[in-house]
Amino acid sequence: MRFIIKRDEFLKGLSIAGRAVNSKSSAVPVLANLKLELNEKGLSITGSNYELTIKTLIPYTRDDVELIRNVQEGATLVNAKIITDMARKIDADEINFEVIDSTIAVITAGSGKIKYNLNCIKANEYPDIDLEPTGIQINLTRLEFSSLVSQTAFAASLREQRPILTAINLEASDGVLTATTTDSARLARKQISISTDLKFSANVPAKMMVEVDHLLEGADSVKIALSDKKALFEFDSTIVSTRLIAGDYPNTKNIVPRITNYSLEVNANDLLKAIDRVNILSLDRENVVDLFLSEDNVEISAKSTQVGSASEKIDVFKFFGNNLQISFNSEFVSSAIKALGCEDVTLLFVGEMKPFVVKNPEDESVVQIVTPVRTY
């Protein structure tokens, strides 16, 4: 195996595939390596930790620019961290890579001034990972996919006690694709219209969806294939595969209240800044702040028996309903508002201890639900 490759392209490919390699010691030591395979299509680089697999292809040419030359096809395994660090620190336009006797990768650059001899492993020792798209397939634009992830992933649980809650539930029916997350204390839901009348439900790990969203930078669209056990994402020259989380996602269809008794319309930035300032004094209540609402007053406050108290009034707002006082986790509400990405935000309340809605008044496709906190 031999090739000369543009250093920037090589580093980009190594970095993309390397995101799937677990930095911690793996139960399968061979997965600390990247698989490099040179064939008629170009150089493919694969990284995996079994839960997540990423394969990316560097073609021989792109836009009439030669990226790889002086080639001899073959495959090998090299330590992911070391080869990536080498490529990152080499200060040259091209890198020369050659495998000697299947055991040593000789890496040179700068007209031979820079030279590494890196131990490598035969490629056939790498696990056989299926990256063929099977099952239900759907195409989304980059913007559609990013909106599904950015407006829901933050509300997924980080705790592994209930693995199903660490997922984004993707459900399609009647021409609508719905993404839902909940950690039992809050819920996020985003809907987009799809051209096909598919019907499915799949639980994709939220952190993997976030990973794909990061990798999508520069891509126009993503093709998603969902089978019984895996989700496959294909875009540009990269394929990402992740295991699905087994089980039935909680029924959240009736969580959004149909009738509310109180409504607050306020500038999102004003509310975020006020919450952030008073939250400094919520030390012994784990980010809990109080919101008092009346026709002529909106006030956010927090208190600490050890430090003191803080309050802030918001000048510009619209409130409908009787007086209401409610307490909530400031982080949950702030995250919900930021995910909406709108200038003005509407909060809809049923009562002081009922889950309330945080929404963009101009976008019905996304809704956030937060459960209040009992403070007495």
pLDDT digits (tens, 9 = 90+) for 336-354: 999 999 999 999 999 999 9
- pTM exceeds 0.85 for this model: yes
Q: What is the pLDDT of residue 22?
A: 82
3-state secondary structure of 123: helix
pLDDT value at position 200? 94
Give the mean model confidence (pLDDT) for residues 107-123: 94
Rounded mean pLDDT, 327-343: 96
- Please state, in angstroms and rounded to a whole number, the distance separating the CA atoms of residues 270 and 263: 17
Written as one letter, the residue type at 149 is: V
pLDDT of the residue at 27: 74
The two domains 2-125 and 137-243 share their CATH topology (first three levels equal)? yes
* Three-point CA angle 246, 248, 253, nearest 5°: 145
Q: What is the pLDDT of residue 70?
A: 96
Give the whole-angstrom CA distance, residue 103 versus residue 3: 16
Q: What is residue 265's predicted lDDT score, i.e. its pLDDT?
A: 97
pLDDT tens string 145-193: 999 999 999 999 998 889 999 999 999 999 999 999 999 999 999 999 9
pLDDT value at 26 more than 70: no
Instruction: List pLDDT tens digits, range 42-55.
Output: 999 999 998 999 99
Q: What is the pLDDT of residue 272?
A: 97
Phi-psi region of 339 (alpha: psi -120 to 50; beta: other; left: phi over 0): alpha
**Structural domain spans, the chain:** 2-125, 137-243, 262-370
Residue 90 has pLDDT above 70, yes or no: yes
d(CA 183, CA 369): 11
- The CATH class, in words, for 2-125 is alpha beta
pLDDT in tens, 189-211: 999 999 888 999 999 999 999 99
Quote the CA–CA distance of 295 and 292 in Å, as a whole number: 10
Q: Is the per-residue pLDDT at 141 higher than 60?
A: yes
Region 101-128: mean pLDDT is 94
Number of Cα atoms under 13 Å in the Cβ half of residue 128: 1
* Mean pLDDT score, 287-298: 94
Of the pLDDT bands very low, low, confident and very high (cuts 50, 70, 90), residue 333 is very high
**Contact yes or no for 223/235 (Cβ under 8 A):** yes
Q: In this structure, which topology does domain 137-243 adopt according to CATH? A: DNA Polymerase III; Chain A, domain 2 (3.10.150)
**pLDDT for the residue numbered 254:** 86
Q: Does domain 262-370 have CATH number 3.10.150.10?
A: yes
